[in-house]
Structure 1
Amino acid sequence: MEHFESWKDLLNPEFYIKMGGFWLILFIIFAETGLFVGFFLPGDSLLFISGIYAVKIIDTTFGTTGSDFLDTTILATAVAVAAIIGNEIGYWFGYKSGPLLYERKDTFLFKKKYLFKAHDFFEDHGTVAVILARFLPIVRTFAPIVAGIVKMDKKKFFYYNIIGAFAWSFTMIFAGHYLDKLFMDQFGIDLKKKLEIIVLVIVLVTTLPIIIKFFFTKDKERPTKID
């Protein structure tokens, strides 16, 4: 069992995998949207590295099926379901009380500017934003809330929510699992020993669009409240 040693552990995906395994992974993915405080958690890198450890995770939790593909599929499916539930809760919260968030003061875990940026992203990309947001840190935390605020059709949101969750989960987890096998078989490189570099690359790739959006585009006029 992994033990908490410093705040740096909270940004280390491998820490969560070793500390809590399958169930903690699901909780973190759910928390990113279901609890609205997970934007600082390592979502994309967590899934990628979970893919590397997929067989071990499933074996430890339920016992392996004897097939790498099936074990990885079980993990990816469970993650997708957790992501769907989290988004649905985010949508419900936005639908019921979202407008009040525009009057809420900033806290350590809540930044109003993130809500505005998610709103802009949703306006720019329409309903497809529900799918695209899955691949963008911070945006995926607030996109379902914005969808609820703008009263997006519930059935349509659910449909795009499912597509986005499965696309994100299967892409990241299967990429981690099979790239690890590819690098080991073809180049003799164990990605488990390169996790710090992998996390850094994933963070840079996934946050670059956010950085550009936040700092290099002009803000639109902001409503103080959305009815």
Structure 2
Amino acid sequence: MLAAMTLEPQLAELTTTAFYLVVLGFVFVESGLLFGFFLPGDSVLFAAGILAATPGSGVSLPVLVLGVFAAAVLGDAVGYACGHRLGRPYLLRRSGRLGARHVERAERFYARYGWFAVVVARWIPWVRTFTPVIAGIGRMPYHRFLSANVLGALCWAVGLVLLGYFSYATPWLRTLSLVVAGVFITATIGYVVVEWRRARRRPLAGGDALVTARDDQAA
């Protein structure tokens, strides 16, 4: 969200149709396609909400909300299907060197929290792209994955759009959003540091994590 102020004028220059395509494309790619793990989805959603509230923008809030929700759900569903059918080699091959570290983080996160991880991962940059794929590799029952997918899409995609929308006319809400974003970023960095130190003391191989995840899901 800290980058939303920079993205807002860039999105405003697009036509209405192009705007919808760009925003929905960002959400879908970051949610389900492994090469999209570096995209600034949070900032795009928040900036899109601000533009929907801007008079004369031509952006419809209901269309935007329904669109980002569908894109987020479909993106995670594609990620799950790829993981379920193609396995871990596909994940490592498509993520490349840059994403390999984040794959391991996502595997540990999923192995530890299961269903909850699919929901919470939406809010963790770099991890949210890999978690649905890992859920598919770990053979998480689809009905459980779908419920977590839908809830995560509502909280993240729809929630950030609405937060941006209402912050347009409420200065204190925009300030609060930036403060919350700063706290969240700090907490995320802290989490990464803690996990990195734990990994150095007690390395956990990705394959072992997935075996643990399968056992948890089977139970």
TM-score normalised by L of structure 2: 0.76
* Cα shift at 1:205: 3.9
Letter of the 1:208 partner, please give it: T
Q: In structure 2, do the counterparts of structure 1 residues 132 and 223 end up closer, same or farther at CA, with 3 Å as the change threshold?
A: closer
Within a 5 Å distance, the mapping from 1:179-218 to structure 2 comes to 179-183=167-171, 204-217=182-195, 218=198
Match of 2:7 in 1: 13
Letter of the 1:34 partner, please give it: G
Match of 1:168 among 156, 165, 190: 156
Q: What is the identity percentage for the equivalent residue pairs of Structure 1 and Structure 2?
A: 28
- The answer for unaligned runs of 5 or more in structure 1 is 1-8, 62-70
User: Could you list the per-position Cα deviations for residues 101-152 of structure 1 after superposition, in whole angstroms to 9, with x for gaps in the alignment?
Assistant: 46638636x5211111011111222201111111111111111011011110
Match of 1:91 in 2: 80
Within a 5 Å distance, the mapping from 1:1-227 to structure 2 comes to 12-14=6-8, 15-16=10-11, 18-19=13-14, 20-55=18-53, 60=58, 71-101=60-90, 104=93, 107=96, 110-183=98-171, 204-217=182-195, 218-219=198-199, 220-223=203-206
Letter of the 1:181 partner, please give it: A
Q: In structure 2, do the counterparts of structure 1 residues 202 and 28 end up closer, same or farther at CA, with 3 Å as the change threshold?
A: farther
Give the aligned CA root-mean-square deviation in angstroms. Answer: 3.2
Contact 2:34 2:95 in 1 (8 A): no
* Cα shift at 1:18: 3.1
Q: Which moved more, 1:142-151 or 1:215-224?
A: 215-224
Letter of the 2:80 partner, please give it: Y
Q: In structure 2, do the counterparts of structure 1 residues 180 and 60 end up closer, same or farther at CA, with 3 Å as the change threshold?
A: closer
2-structure distance, mates of 1:25, 1:57: 19
Contact 1:44 1:172 in 2 (8 A): yes
Letter of the 2:73 partner, please give it: I
1-structure distance, mates of 2:183, 2:84: 31
Q: Which has the higher helix share?
A: 2
* Cα shift at 1:207: 3.4
Q: In structure 2, do the counterparts of structure 1 residues 168 and 223 end up closer, same or farther at CA, with 3 Å as the change threshold?
A: closer
Aligned length, in residue pairs = 199
* Cα shift at 1:13: 2.7
* Cα shift at 1:54: 1.1
2-structure distance, mates of 1:116, 1:173: 30
Contact 2:73 2:153 in 1 (8 A): yes
Letter of the 2:148 partner, please give it: Y
Letter of the 1:207 partner, please give it: I
Q: In structure 2, do the counterparts of structure 1 residues 111 and 155 end up closer, same or farther at CA, with 3 Å as the change threshold?
A: same
TM-score normalised by L of structure 1: 0.74
